[in-house]
Amino acid sequence: MCGLCGLLGPIPRGPCARAAALETLSRLLLLSEPRGPHATGVAWIAGDGAYQVEKAPRPARQFVLTPGYLDWLAVVPMDVTALLGHTRWPTRGTVHAPANNHPLVASLPCELPNRSTPAPALLLTHNGVVDQPDQLAARWGLPRHAAVDSDVLVQLAVRASGPAGVDVPAYLAWLAQVPGRMALAVCDTRQPHRVLLIRGTMPLSLAWHRRRRLLAYASEDVTLQHALGGETGWAPVPFPPGQACLVDTYDPADLRWYAWTPHRRRQKEENPCPSW
């Protein structure tokens, strides 16, 4: 198991409100640590497709005090569209190899290279486990850039992406063939205002603040409740298993929903790792 968390939507520009939003992200990470105490990572994505990732093989309580995380917070841009967080409990791939820790980053083809714009990439965080990732990669001709099983999921997202971003039905059709358990957050920086949240059989909870136009997510309801600190205005958004939610971060109230059928694992394939 791992912990997913994040904030989607326009982060406030006022210094106090902005600091409060970034502090909320830190609380989400800290409260997600029990789900993954072995590595922690974050990413921001800006409106022009720029992004920055920071991750380390440390529990969240140590990570949020590191110079790397504090420097990452200091350069969150004013036009940020998404803040993604992850706490990792490894199943495959050592946490001491950065490529195995989340957010995972995969380079995307750039049709018209331009030094003034960032190279496009696909960012993904995953909670769950992929069964037999090496066999899946070989069967579908996927490159492997990391030992972590989630690498198969990011490579499938690359395959399902184009200039308009992730083709959601195509990606879900691939995921329906992947044995395992999953909840995902995915962003193609060619469409930086779109973030795809996917719930298979692993938990994922959402909360929406109408006045602040922010969507918060975490792997557990209790994480959201404690991280939001009793602030009024937050309302839960139902997110059942077998659903995907495409968020337009320019207008987080506009949620586009997709139904899909997660792969059913045979009993003998069950992984002894906890599924909560």
pLDDT tens digits, 100-114:
999 999 999 876 555
pTM score, two decimals? 0.93
pLDDT tens digits, 41-59:
999 999 999 999 999 999 9
- For 28, 89, 138, 164, the CA distances from 60, given in Å and listed in that order, are 10, 12, 35, 34
Is beta strand 121-130 parallel, antiparallel or unpaired with respect to 165-166? unpaired
Please answer whether residues 100 and 69 qualify as being in contact, where contact means their C-beta atoms are separated by less than 8 angstroms: no
**Highest CATH level, class, for 3-109+117-269:** alpha beta
Question: Is the pLDDT score of 273 beyond 50?
Answer: no
Domain-wise residue ranges, the chain: 3-109+117-269
Mean pLDDT of the chain: 92
Question: Is the pLDDT score of 266 beyond 60?
Answer: no
The residue whose two tokens read 């090496």 is 134
- For 135, 155, 201, 244, the CA distances from 265, given in Å and listed in that order, are 16, 21, 11, 20
Question: E strand or H helix at 126, and its extent?
Answer: strand 121-130
Three-state DSSP class for residue 87: strand
Question: Is the pLDDT score of 267 beyond 50?
Answer: no
Three-state DSSP class for residue 43: strand
